[in-house]
Structure 1
Amino acid sequence: MSKLSLSFACWDYDRIHALTNGSVQVDGIDLNWLNMPVEETFWRMMRHQEFDVAELSLSSYLVAKDRGYPNFTAIPVFMSRFFRHSGIYINKNSGINKPEDLKGKRVGIPEYQLTACLWIRGILQHDYGVHPADMNWYIGGQETAGRIEKIKLDLPWNINIRQIDNNQTLNQMLESGEIDAFIAPRAPSCFLEGSPNVQRLFPDYPSVEKEYFKRTGIFPIMHVVAIKDEILEEHPWVAQNLYKAFEQAKQKVYEGFKQTAALKVTLPWFTSEWENTRELMGEDFWPYGLENNRKTLEAAVTYSYEQGMIKNQLKIEDLFAKSTLEKYTL
């Protein structure tokens, strides 16, 4: 019997290498991996549903489930996770020294719906009392002019958003002081190039993020894996088979980390970092599945609802293919 051929759009993560090099096989499925930057994958999946299976922004996925379109369903596999305190950049002349100083300031974001921005706004609100309505938002291209939202949002009346001009970029505006701060998943080039005008709001972000995890138990989820509903309707077994294969591929990464005869990762003190991470977050520090991530997922849904991007308080169980929510036992 021939295998089902499915396109799979995803960036080049170590946690999928076992799938792409064939050392882990998906039962009954041939995956045609399309290696693309995440922004392109998200745009093409949200706008045109071009792929059978795709890495997808968690925030955009919540909006899609809330609206009932586009029609795809996720499995609880999280391609990207990231503590996001590091993603707040400030102009040094803006008068911002602590999170509370963001109130009343001009803050640039590439898209309001970006998952990194969702998490940062939620953290600012719940941990520091800075609400989204307290800031003036500027949206547009980070490095190239002309970026717009993937899908139109219906935000609360008190959210002040302005689209920057088509000849402007947020990177330039942060460097020049036309905006006071910038929030995004990607570091602006002015910061990467060592601009004397730009720095992180939290220079010692690892310490802040570790304290956040100790206090909340939350490891923010950025991206899920979504499957077109038409495929699941015809082949319902696809969700569970993919879930199992992704879990096996991730375990291959963990196994590689345990090798100390030679460094698997191109970082001199990687072994120390791996040991410290396990001590803080446990053996399976990048967990898949619903129950291991319930608190994190509930926080993301709450933030999306509070920020007006979704209109309903979605149930976590309704976000994922049902077959991936139960485990069989012998």
Structure 2
Amino acid sequence: MNKITTIEDVKALIAAGVEENTTIEYKSGINIADAKWKGEMAKDVSAMANANGGVIIYGVKEFDEKDKRHIPSQITPLDTTKISKETIAQVISSNISPKIKGLEINCLVVDVSKPNEVVYIITIPQSSTAHQNLKTKQYHKRYSTTVDSMEDYEIRDIMNRNVHPDITLDFELRQITKQELYWIQPTYNPLYGSPLPAHPQIVQRAILVLNCIPRNIGTVVAEHVHYFVKLPENIVAIGQEFDIAEVKDGFVTMRRENLYCDILEGSTPTNIKYGLPRIVPILPGMTGVHKGIIIHPNANLNQDVEISWCLNADGASVKSGKIKLKDIPRK
């Protein structure tokens, strides 16, 4: 989800009825005086770090009805004279081990005429190690709208974030200018005899491409990355630089690796020579080699269909995901 930086962002979540999920949680208030409540805060924050990261919003009440209890209903401001940003930070740091790197606490004023009435936003990054709740000596993880104790294998999986690379796949639609080579055959003229030989001509045209971008969100360098992308066949143009793995039931599956071929010295626009493929490692925080999938010029990009993907990287667990075609951002 997008980062929450203003009170308008909070109001937009309420207006849209954005339900709690793995990466967002609403809390109507804070009771720091209650030792049990401190343990609950430590559990909620560590659970989100142990899962996918996300945000906890303090100062937003959910509906009371059972079928709507995970949907925000209204802002219930907190008083900075009773609970400060520094106090929240101290409770979190003293009750979670190890401390969560990159955690942010922001204070959003609800009404400028009442500067003490605020909503607190705690932004929690996905961690590269498992965090323990020191109040209970347990490890917790967020699953959708609930928080549960972790199994041993889940703790090991999180610890492996420091052993194996953590790669995800981003998508964007981008219009680019593509150069294409055509051979032009002169028209035969009986006055001059045989026509001249065909000559090359470079033509530029605008095309739309779907970029599939591997991104290293972990702390380990990725050497080998291999992924598959499955999308509707009717939106794909002919002539792709991806390897087609399968065409079935109206969908085409394409595969890609983090390989790159250098253009060799002596190449010309009409005669491009490539070297042997070489692996391009993906450093932490960086993106890898990506080639765009050319989109058919008549494709309907507002289709309510999903693009699915799966990815392998250096012994890490297989990752997969889905995104709706209409939700892919245009650049």
**What band does the TM-score fall into relative to the shorter chain?**
under 0.3
Query: Quick check: which one's strand share is greater?
Result: 2
Larger Rg computed on CA atoms: 2
TM-score, reference length from structure 2: 0.22
Of the two structures, which has the highest relative contact order with CA contacts closer than 8 Å and spacing of 6 or more?
Answer: 1
TM-score, reference length from structure 1: 0.22
